[in-house]
Amino acid sequence: MHVVHHQGEHFSLSLGIRNSWYSSLTSFLFVAPLAVLGLPLEMFVAASSFHYAVQLYNHNAFVGKSGWLDRVLVTPSNHRVHHATHPVYLNKNFGGTFLIWDKLFGSYQPERDDIPLHYGVNGASPGYNPFWASNQGLQAWFRRRFAPSGQRAMRMPAAYIATGGILLFGMVIYYVERVAGWDAIGQWSVFACLVAGTIAIGGMSDERRWGWLGWLALTLAMPALCAGMFGMRDGWALALLALLLVHGLAGLRLREAAWAN
């Protein structure tokens, strides 16, 4: 599951929140015993907050070296080593917050000026589709059996894909804010649309025709779905759904150029 975090080829803040769809399942194995042992919730929240604040810091690309902190904490310099693909850097600096564990077990490696930094996973290129990225161990099996051979690429403009992702993220924020007031059918229907939209954008990024067709279907279906379920009474929902609809229809004008390229 953790390989998804290492697939990122650019060291940035976005890498700090790039995780498998199933990553919370692994956290549960460590968190559940703490609850059974009676660890106070306040202590857990405090430690977790500090840990995740450090994660955002050590995944930024703007900080070079951090002085004396490089000898104590997992800083950007130390964590770049953990993500790098050079043989000297492989399987090093596993710690999340403090370096004490790596130094104790002999897995600490400082960043070296004479070794270039390249990121990603050696020998793996799952593409931009989050479904394949989160199921990298199964992708070869699925592709051998289900991927069409000789499929013609459909290159939608990068700006089109990016704006679609921004609109979908806006819908995710709206969903998180309003989901508590919806019934179960509404919750799961919109959630399914958001997952489908994420996969469709990944398909477009991988230049798959089904990605664009899926995105077009979603941008047409979501306004109709929300109109029937929620009555289109919310201004924010109206604005987001209208933009989604316009975005999907704009793709119709771009598809011929996408095929030509």
CA dist 3 → 6, 118, 131 (Å): 5, 16, 14
- Kindly state whether residues 22 and 92 are assigned to the same domain: yes
DSSP state of 119: B
Task: Examine the pLDDT at 81 and tell me if it is beyond 60.
Answer: yes
φ, ψ of residue 40 in degrees (nearest 5): -60, 140
Whether the predicted pLDDT of 258 surpasses 70:
no
Which long-range CB contacts under 8 A does 170-179 form with residues at least 24 apart? 170/240, 171/197, 171/222, 171/240, 171/244, 174/236, 174/237, 174/240, 178/234
Q: Are the beta carbons of 95 and 73 closer than 8 angstroms?
A: no
pLDDT value at residue 248: 87
- Considering only CA atoms, which of 140, 118, 116 is closest in space to residue 127? 140
Query: Percent of the chain scored above 90 by pLDDT?
Result: 20
**Domain assignment of residue 51, yes or no:** yes
The pLDDT of residue 220 is above 70: yes
Mean pLDDT estimate for the chain: 82
208 found inside a domain = yes
Confidence of residue 221 (pLDDT cuts 50, 70, 90): confident
Q: In the prediction, which pLDDT does 145 show?
A: 53
Q: How many CA atoms lie within 13 A of 115 on its CB side?
A: 16
The residues, ordered by sequence, that sit 6+ positions from 226 with a Cβ below 8 Å of its Cβ are 190, 232, 237, 241
Count helices and strands in the chain by DSSP H and E runs? 12, 0
Domain enclosing residue 87, as ranges: 3-105
For the chain, what is the domain count? 2
In this structure, are 10 and 85 located in the same domain? Answer: yes
Kindly state whether residue 177 falls inside one of the protein's structural domains.
yes
Last residue of a domain, one of 72, 105, 138: 105
Confidence class of residue 231 from pLDDT cuts 50, 70 and 90?
A: low
Same domain, 99 and 171: no
Judge whether 113 lies within some domain. no
CB 84 within 8 A of CB 108: no
Find, among 119, 143, 121, the residue nearest to 132 by Cα. Answer: 143
pLDDT at site 233: 66
Last-in-domain residue among 88, 105, 122: 105
* pLDDT score at 106: 92
User: Residue 146 pLDDT more than 70?
Assistant: no
Domain termination site, one of 105, 131, 166: 105
Q: Token digits for 45?
A: 């929240």
Is the residue at 148 inside a domain? no
Q: Note whether residue 36 is domain-resident.
A: yes
User: In the predicted model, is pLDDT for residue 30 greater than 80?
Assistant: yes
Q: Is 18 inside a domain boundary?
A: yes
Report how far residue 76's alpha carbon sits from residue 62's, in angstroms, rounded to the nearest whole number.
9
Say if residue 5's pLDDT is above 90: no
pLDDT of 124 over the 70 cut: no
57 in a structural domain: yes
